[in-house]
Structure 1
């Protein structure tokens, strides 16, 4: 039982140390790989926490596997019931937080679509009236196809080549389904608060991913950098027609993104970077696997020990 509790405690505590490590590892990788790594880490860490709590919650009921009466188990180990109740309470909190997060995402998407109702569609681009400069990727919703939403104010703030870069950036968000990455990390943060630290890092790398796609589309990294800088200066992010936060050309730390575009295209980490990133990812997989094995082993040992202690060999 002690081993099992240790494994559960490690699974619950691991995200507090793993989230900062995942952010540092992502900084060693190109934008696309970094985004995949952050989203994958969020899923693994959140899933491990939920699995550990679920296993702890079910411990008192495992007596049925050995045909033991529940009263016999609680008489031998009185702490089992309060510990299991605590795990159940945490699972209930996680369930409520996950439901609220999912509802918030759906409401935000519905509100954004409602606010763009006056827009004029031009292919996959939806031009909305207004002087405020805005542009963002709006995923498909309730049968309505995904669109690149841009305001008249944003179109007026950019030149022809910069508009091309802007559209390529937002289309990259839609083609890459970047909103799914954001939703996954948001839900993972609802399951474990430590994973909320991955959100800003993921947002930055998703924007960098779209930046590099836009630069490749226009064939000029400087034009892409100029488009991002002018779009950010033309209007604040997160206001106006959007009605909330969506992936946008002006999202995240814009100066860092512009500086990255003024440098050569990233082809992957160099020097010690690949070894550090690989070692970190392998370590995360190994730790997650060991915790899963330890959880299963602890449950098995608990049931076997309970049977021997209560019923006898």
Structure 2
């Protein structure tokens, strides 16, 4: 059973390496592709973790299918119940945290809309009165379409051309439905602690995605860089007005964003560099999937082995259904 325990450790440890590779690969991709890659990696790595926990939790159930008394199973594999219990407890905690996080997202969005109701509408823009200096994209809620929320303090702090960049940035968040990518990675981070590092990386690349779209809209990368820098310097604290801290033009490492806008538009790597990065990430994710499948197969085969040892099933019965058929044929 040693190899099964090795697979358990390997499957649960793979996300630590996977997140490092994903972040490094994202650094060499255009922002849009970096965001999609980070989100996909988070989902796949979280899925592998959940699959491993489900497999461990179901070992006693598989034993019951073999008509094995739990006491006899414990004689062959004493840790089966503790492992299944830990896996079940972890999944229960994960479920509670996921529900809690979903509720938090909904409450934050509701609070954001309540504060935005104080604003004056102008198309898809809501100007909220107050001395705070802030701007953010507010996703749709209960039939209401998404809006760009800007405080009057932010409006006063920027010049006309800079306001155009700011609005284009926030509109890019709404058009790209960036809040969904952010929510997916945020929820995946609840499943495995290693995935938490992907949240900050995703926030940065989401802001870079919106920066690039804003620069393309105004047709001047330098002007976009100046506007983002001025908005960040003027901002009091992003999300303070509505309590919704995501998708704000002043979030993320602003100096790096400004520096990137002063460089030529990023393009996807080609040739050996692209193949090496994609292969590394794909290999890590695939390794996690293979380890999870191997773990499931190993647990399955071990239960069958225990059945043959405990109830005297002939060695020729090498499958689960062969064991069940033998049990039924012999009267149980």
| TM-score between the two structures when normalised by the length of structure 1 | 0.95
- The equivalent residue for 1:283 is 283
1:218-233 to 2 correspondence within 5 Å? 218-233=218-233
> Cα offset for 1:263?
0.7
Q: Which residue of 1 aligns with 2:182?
A: 182
- 1:137-216 equivalent positions in 2, closer than 5 A: 137-216=137-216
Separation in structure 1 between the aligned mates of residue 73 and residue 288 of structure 2, nearest angstrom? 30
Return closer, same or farther for 1:289/1:48 CA change in 2, 3 Å cut-off. closer
Q: 2-side partners of 1:36 and 1:270: how far apart?
A: 18
Structure 1 position 214, deviation (Å): 0.5
CA-to-partner distance for each residue in 1:106-155, whole Å, 9 max, x for gaps? 11111111111211111111111112221100111122211111111111
C-alpha deviation, 1:303, in angstroms: 2.3
User: Which residue does the alignment assign to 2:40?
Assistant: 40
Choose 289-298 or 143-152, whichever is displaced more. Answer: 289-298
Within-5 A mapping of 1:96-135? 96-135=96-135
Taking the aligned partners of 1:272 and 1:43, their CA distance within structure 2 comes to 26
Distance in 2, matches of 1:240 and 1:58, equals 46
Partner Cα separation in structure 2 for residue 96 and residue 272 of structure 1: 44
Q: 1:182-233 deviations in whole A, cap 9, x for unaligned? A: 1111111111111111111110000000000011111111111111011101
SS in 2 for 1:240: coil
Asked whether the equivalents of residues 139 and 179 of structure 1 are also in contact (C-alpha less than 8 Å), the reply is yes
User: Residue 121 of structure 2: SS of its match in structure 1?
Assistant: strand
- TM-superposition CA deviations, 1:58-99 (whole Å, max 9, x none): 101102332333333233322211111111111111112112
SS of equivalent residue, structure 1 residue 132 = coil
**2: CA distance, partners of 1:90 / 1:296:** 18
Distance in 1, matches of 2:28 and 2:273, equals: 6
Q: Bigger CA drift: 104-113 or 286-295?
A: 286-295
Task: Report the counterpart of residue 268 of structure 1 in structure 2.
Answer: 268
**Is contact 1:237–1:251 with CA below 8 Å preserved after alignment?**
no
In the TM superposition, residue 31 of structure 1 has moved relative to its aligned partner by 0.5
Residue 259 of structure 1: aligned partner: 259
Aligned residue number for residue 66 of structure 1: 66
Give the greater-gyration-radius structure (CA). Answer: 2
Partner of 2:79: 79
SS class of match (2:100): helix
Q: Secondary structure at the match of 2:150?
A: strand
Following TM superposition, the consecutive aligned residue runs of length 4 or more in structure 1 with deviations greater than 4 angstroms are none
Aligned length: 313
- Distance in 2, matches of 1:68 and 1:26, equals 49
- Gaps in structure 2 of 5+ consecutive residues: 315-332
Deviation at 1:239, TM superposition (A): 4.7
Q: Distance in 2 between matches of 1:311 and 1:112?
A: 63
Aligned residues of 2:45 and 2:285 also touching (Cα < 8 A): no
Query: What secondary structure does 1:241 align onto?
Result: coil
1:266-300 CA-partner distances (Å, limit 9, x unpaired): 01126753133122222123213312321232132
